Amino acid sequence: MTLQVPYQLFKYERFKTNPVRVGNLTIGGNSPIVLQSMCNTSTSDVKASVAQAKEIFNAGGEMIRYTVIHQKDAEALREIREELNKDGYNQPIVADVHFNAELANIAAKYVEKVRINPGNFIDKRAKFETKEYTDIKWNEELLKVEKKLVELIHICKENKTALRIGTNHGSLSDRIMSRYGNTVEGMVEATMEFLRICKKENFEHVVVSLKSSNVKVMVTAYRNIVSVMHKENMHYPLHLGVTEAGNGLSGRIKSAAGIGALLNDGLGDTIRVSLTENPSREIPVAQSIIKHFANRNDKATAQPTDIKYDPFSISQRTIETSTDIQTKHPAVVIDLRHLEEINECDIEALGYKKSSDKWEPSRRAAEYAFANTTKINTFAPEGFKFLYESYLDGKPCKRTAPILTRAEYLKLYKLTRLKEKWVYLRLNELTDEMVGILNDDNHVVIILETTHPHGTADQRSFFMHMAQHNLKHPVIIKRNYVEEDATQMAIKAAADIAPLLTDGFGNGIWLTNPFITDAKIVHEISFEILQATRARSTSTEFIACPSCGRTQFDIEKVLEEVKDRTKHLYHLKIGVMGCLVNGPGEMADADYGYVGAAKDKVSLYKGKTQVRKNIPAANAVDELIDLIKTNGDWIDK
């Protein structure tokens, strides 16, 4: 199926969706983006659930969600709603229901919105078994879905309750995976089955989400569903989020990367940042992401005449170069211009460790550093280069490369002895003259800068103009910030650069900030952005749920312990999940998993297979380490 891009690629403009009324809020249409979170209390504990809701609302949250496991939870929603109203909190509440359509029917009478998951609305938990479905059998299964969904729709209509069709990459049904695999296409079709029923029933109070813990999958899934909905004349608002983003700086960067990539395209009407922390701490992060996209309306950049770009699939831009730049993964440039001299401690901050007479690179060793001094009191690591804006009196020096302005390059490009030169370029500088020269010079690394208010679109357009002229030079994405707070810088940088990395653009990143000159901080932000987009894996990938009322252990504490003991296992993905309801599915691409099974009990997974069941929580992390060692995946620090 050929997909069209119905949203703007080169101009910031909110994609037009239907307005959906949810209590006293409107999601979609011309309404502001709504911020929401999810309580992690036991829903039937009304007192605790009300208290946490107030905490989230006081932090700036505009909507909250509760998990509904039992009928007791569903019935408790009525009391929660009454208690919140009594205290002046009239913001919408949402019921989150899995595996039990009857609970959704009950909850729909008490709340402003119900979230259901197409992967388990009537299906049991996926066993990842492939079955053959004839068209007749397939349609029979669809009729079962329609019967139960129509029942819920009628209740929603009677009670003016909205519905979220919330598909998760990790919890597709065996039926969908049997035909489409655990793919973006499967996510889209699982969602569309439900949306077609809603449309058939003339039920428009619907919000859509297609989440994943994999940022590339998440971004691609949303882009695909928007195009497919547009083709079928559907315009439901979008709820954005990266599932199991984790905690700390990495969790914030991962969330900003996925959500920011879509907001850059004008997609998204409500967002939830999923952190394995107190839910109220999600709201400031969400606010920062939204604020970053304020005042961008109608900011447009130059559009290429020939768009060679497919936003609906995951691919990597091809480069051809005679420079020394890495081609297997994006490089990292650290800005050291503030240093009057460079010492061993400065090299260590870039990810290297001194060992006798040489530097040993860590997994997170930066390949380049921009310097504004020639006073270097140590030798450079093997494979590392210093970058200078002048060429040291025009003489090549070992492990250095010159950075040239466009004007300087036009004067020097014929000097063949410059094996590698880095050239600052912006979109408006990619003239016919420059294109002609670059086509004859494969010794150039382009430093792509932008001052455009919609910078990501501007840099995206540059890559498309390069493709239009068949330019295959490596490109370093450079962004400049003036944030005094490192977390704010990280959120902005992730939102700006991740969209390009997820599209396969960029052979390196370079972040600058005059207020944050600590190389270790910028180093961490840079590598976490690459990790979040899976452009370059340099540490363990942790898939950790934010927890909800189903979680019966201190997941924040456990996650920190697991991270502390396994963060050096860069070749692994490890899941830390709150419960068996969604945990195994949501961490489906993890190599190992720690999943809450019952009170003080944990089950461990190797891939999708449960291998140790109901072990005491007190011993569970040790058991996880033992499991990794038993399977030969352990590496000593």
Tell me, yes or no, whether 293 lies in a domain.
Answer: no
Q: How far apart are CA 435 and CA 524, in angstroms?
A: 35
| DSSP assignment letter at 428 | G
Q: Are residues 25 and 118 in the same domain?
A: yes
Residue 433, CA atoms < 13 Å, CB-side half-sphere: 8
**By CB neighbour count within 10 A (0-12 exposed, 13-18 middle, 19+ buried), where does 180 fall?**
middle
Q: Is the pLDDT of residue 355 over 60?
A: yes
Tell me, yes or no, whether 143 lies in a domain.
Answer: yes
pLDDT for the residue 157:
98
Tell me, yes or no, whether 103 lies in a domain.
Answer: yes
Q: Are residues 418 and 546 in the same domain?
A: no
Closest CA to 209 of 271, 151, 158: 271
pLDDT for the residue 507:
96
Q: How far apart are CA 539 and CA 50, in angstroms?
A: 38
pLDDT for the residue 297:
80
If one counts the domains in the chain, the total is 3
Helix (H) or strand (E) holding 333: strand 331-336
Cβ atoms within 10 Å, residue 221: 26
First-to-last C-alpha distance (Å) of the chain: 48
Q: Is the pLDDT of residue 398 over 70?
A: no
pTM equals 0.93
Q: What is the mean pLDDT of residues 486-491?
A: 98
pLDDT for the residue 348:
96
Q: Is the pLDDT of residue 124 over 80?
A: no
Tell me, yes or no, whether 255 lies in a domain.
Answer: no
Q: Is the pLDDT of residue 582 over 70?
A: no
pLDDT for the residue 125:
66
Q: Are 465 and 438 in contact (CB under 8 A)?
A: no
577 band by pLDDT with thresholds 50, 70 and 90? confident
Closest CA to 285 of 323, 320, 321, 258: 258
Q: Which tens digits make up the pLDDT trace of 175-193?
A: 999 999 989 999 999 999 9
Q: Any idea which of 167-171, 331-335, 433-437 has the lowest mean pLDDT?
A: 167-171
357 band by pLDDT with thresholds 50, 70 and 90? confident
pLDDT for the residue 394:
46
Q: How far apart are CA 593 and CA 624, in angstroms?
A: 8
415 band by pLDDT with thresholds 50, 70 and 90? low
Q: Are 254 and 220 in contact (CB under 8 A)?
A: no
Q: Are residues 528 and 545 in the same domain?
A: no
Q: How far apart are CA 582 and CA 579, in angstroms?
A: 7
Domain end point (choices 182, 216, 240): 240
Q: Are 69 and 58 in contact (CB under 8 A)?
A: no
High-pLDDT (> 70) share of the chain, %: 96
Q: Is the pLDDT of residue 255 over 70?
A: yes
Q: Which tens digits make up the pLDDT trace of 42-76?
A: 999 999 999 999 999 999 999 999 999 999 999 99
Q: Are residues 562 and 437 in the same domain?
A: no
Q: Are 575 and 594 in contact (CB under 8 A)?
A: yes
pLDDT for the residue 413:
74
Q: Which tens digits make up the pLDDT trace of 326-348?
A: 778 999 999 999 999 999 999 99
Q: Is the pLDDT of residue 395 over 50?
A: no
In what side-by-side order are the strands of the sheet with 162-168?
206-211, 162-168, 113-116, 93-97, 63-68, 34-38, 270-271, 239-240
Q: Are residues 167 and 230 in the same domain?
A: yes
SS (H, E, C) 277-324: CCHHHHHHHHHHHHHHCCCCCCCECCCCCCCCCCCCCCCCCCCCCCCC
Return the CA Rg of the chain: 26
Q: What is the mean pLDDT of residues 609-630?
A: 92
User: 527 lies in which domain range?
Assistant: 331-532
Q: Are residues 236 and 358 in the same domain?
A: no
Q: Are residues 161 and 222 in the same domain?
A: yes
Tell me, yes or no, whether 401 lies in a domain.
Answer: yes
Q: Are residues 363 and 505 in the same domain?
A: yes
Report the CATH number at residue 157.
3.20.20.20
Q: Is the pLDDT of residue 127 over 70?
A: no
List the structure tokens of 498: 């991740």
396 band by pLDDT with thresholds 50, 70 and 90? very low
High-pLDDT (> 90) share of the chain, %: 72
Domain end point (choices 240, 261, 294): 240
Q: Are 15 and 6 in contact (CB under 8 A)?
A: yes
Domain end point (choices 486, 506, 532): 532
Average pLDDT, the chain: 92
Q: In whole angstroms, what separates CA 321 from the centre of its chain?
A: 30
Q: In whole angstroms, what separates CA 34 from the centre of its chain?
A: 18
Q: Is the pLDDT of residue 457 over 70?
A: yes
Q: Are 254 and 245 in contact (CB under 8 A)?
A: yes
Q: Which tens digits make up the pLDDT trace of 230-239?
A: 999 999 999 9
Q: Are residues 206 and 229 in the same domain?
A: yes
Tell me, yes or no, whether 311 lies in a domain.
Answer: no
Q: Any idea which of 91-100, 219-228, 399-408, 445-454 has the lowest mean pLDDT?
A: 399-408
pLDDT for the residue 1:
56
Q: What is the mean pLDDT of residues 314-322?
A: 86
Q: What is the mean pLDDT of residues 135-147?
A: 94
Tell me, yes or no, whether 431 lies in a domain.
Answer: yes
pLDDT for the residue 455:
94
Q: Are residues 388 and 417 in the same domain?
A: yes
Could you give the angle at the alpha carbon of 495 between the alpha carbons of 338 and 4, nearest 5°? 140
Q: Alpha carbon of 53 to those of 107, 269, 280, 549, 551: distances in Å? A: 17, 21, 9, 13, 17
Q: How far apart are CA 102 and CA 194, in angstroms?
A: 17
| DSSP assignment letter at 361 | E
pLDDT for the residue 232:
97
Q: Are residues 469 and 613 in the same domain?
A: no
400 band by pLDDT with thresholds 50, 70 and 90? confident
Closest CA to 290 of 33, 90, 579: 33
Q: How long a stretch of residues is the chain?
A: 637
pLDDT for the residue 53:
98
Beta carbons within 8 Å of 428's beta carbon, 6+ residues apart: 302
Report the CATH number at residue 594.
3.30.413.10
Tell me, yes or no, whether 504 lies in a domain.
Answer: yes
Higher local confidence (pLDDT), 394 or 611: 611
Closest CA to 350 of 361, 358, 341, 340: 361
Report the CATH number at residue 428.
3.20.20
Q: Is the pLDDT of residue 307 over 80?
A: no
Q: Are residues 100 and 161 in the same domain?
A: yes
List the structure tokens of 561: 């312990």
